[in-house]
């Protein structure tokens, strides 16, 4: 089925097919559940391009997420140059960038989103903490949303007005996802000295992010409520996506609800351990959407 997907996606040159297959293995390894959803629910013509975009996003994040701020900034500057050269030349010595260049050739909208994402990476490299909701919103708009749009642009409708509404729906979705990310990874982020929960909310509740307790439990519940509000506001997003991609978008939102439920259950224990949805529950969401698509 993967070979047919490559055919339908216009990936025909043998070396490039090997490159896309290498990215597929990487995505399947670091994003197993997401890959499964894409594999089952997305049409073959777009699947390899989604894989290429996700692989690029992950590779970028991995390169700029290590070391002191100045090391991360230097890594971003070097990577930025390699990415821009690959898009300009249509080629690269790196398989992930060869795939990105080909995907951008087949889907020209990707180029603008790569540009926005690379610009947003400057904020990702620079931040150490988030003082208030306003800073969280800037982080989401400047980094998280461009990261999501690398793949979401491949699923967007052609109509300009609907596309604008689709992008705003993606903004609501990624704001919820980012808030849940920061809660899920709270213990790890605190150890790294980069907590993503707004500092003013932490102070308002008198919470200690490193210690379980009632105050932290109330903070987690408040942040979960905010994420839930955004998920509810994004509920119409699947109807705005191009029709072939709606089952995947519904499944994506369904999994975010499971993640949010898991965060609520974990509560103050997030100070000492991460959380996540159960694999059987996530699989059930996927199977329901697959069955719904089969029924037509």
Please give the pLDDT value at position 295: 66
Please give the pLDDT value at position 147: 97
Token pair in block for residue 257: 């609800």
Torsion angles phi and psi, residue 200, rounded to 5: -65, -35
Task: Give the contacts of 3 (CB within 8 A, at least 6 positions apart).
Answer: 17
CA 2 distance to own-chain centroid:
23
CA 23 distance to own-chain centroid:
16
Residue pair 178/144 in contact by the 8 Å Cβ criterion: yes
Stretches in the chain below the pLDDT threshold 50: none
Please give the pLDDT value at position 126: 87
Q: What's the predicted TM-score (pTM) here?
A: 0.94
Residue pair 189/273 in contact by the 8 Å Cβ criterion: no
Helix (H, G, I), strand (E, B) or coil at 273: coil
Q: Which segments of the chain does DSSP mark as H helices, in order? A: 2-8, 14-30, 32-41, 47-64, 69-89, 95-106, 109-126, 133-139, 145-152, 160-184, 186-192, 199-205, 214-233, 237-240, 246-266, 279-295
Token pair in block for residue 160: 């300009």
The size of the chain, in residues, is 296
Domains of the chain listed by start with CATH number: 1-126 (no CATH), 128-296 (1.10.600.10)
HEC per residue, 149-165 = HHHHHHHCCCCHHHHHH
Token pair in block for residue 212: 């379980």
- Tokens 């988030």, residue? 130
In angstroms, rounded to a whole number, what is the distance separating the alpha carbons of residues 236 and 86? 36
Please give the pLDDT value at position 34: 84
Please give the pLDDT value at position 138: 95
Token pair in block for residue 104: 């951008």
- Tens digits of residue pLDDT in 95-117: 999 999 999 999 999 999 999 99
In angstroms, rounded to a whole number, what is the distance separating the alpha carbons of residues 82 and 2? 28
Please give the pLDDT value at position 22: 97
């Amino acid at each position: 089925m993967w070979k047919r997907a490559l055919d339908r996606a216009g990936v025909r040159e043998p070396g490039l097919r090997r490159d896309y297959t290498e990215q597929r293995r990487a995505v399947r390894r670091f994003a197993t559940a997401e890959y499964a959803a894409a594999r089952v629910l997305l049409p073959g013509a777009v699947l390899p391009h989604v894989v290429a975009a996700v692989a690029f996003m992950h590779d970028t994040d991995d390169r700029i997420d290590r070391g002191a701020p100045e090391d991360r900034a230097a890594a971003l500057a070097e990577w930025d140059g390699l990415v821009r050269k690959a898009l300009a030349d249509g080629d690269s010595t790196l398989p992930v960038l060869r795939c990105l260049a080909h995907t951008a050739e087949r889907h020209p909208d990707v180029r603008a989103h790569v540009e926005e994402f690379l610009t947003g990476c400057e904020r990702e490299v620079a931040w150490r903490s988030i003082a208030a909701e306003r800073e969280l919103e800037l982080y989401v708009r400047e980094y998280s949303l461009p990261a999501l749009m690398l793949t979401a642009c491949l699923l967007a409708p052609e109509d300009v007005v609907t596309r604008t509404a689709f992008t705003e729906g993606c903004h609501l979705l990624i704001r919820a996802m980012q808030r849940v990310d920061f809660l899920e990874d709270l213990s790890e982020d605190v150890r790294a000295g980069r907590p993503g929960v707004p500092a003013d909310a932490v102070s308002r509740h008198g919470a200690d992010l490193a210690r379980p307790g009632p105050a932290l439990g109330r903070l987690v519940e408040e942040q979960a409520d905010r994420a839930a509000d955004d998920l509810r506001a994004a509920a119409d997003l699947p109807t705005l996506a191009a029709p072939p991609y709606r089952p995947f978008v519904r499944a994506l939102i369904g999994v975010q609800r499971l993640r949010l439920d898991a965060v609520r259950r974990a509560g103050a224990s997030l100070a000492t351990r991460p959380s996540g949805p159960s694999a059987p529950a996530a699989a059930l969401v996927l199977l329901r959407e697959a069955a719904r698509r089969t029924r037509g």
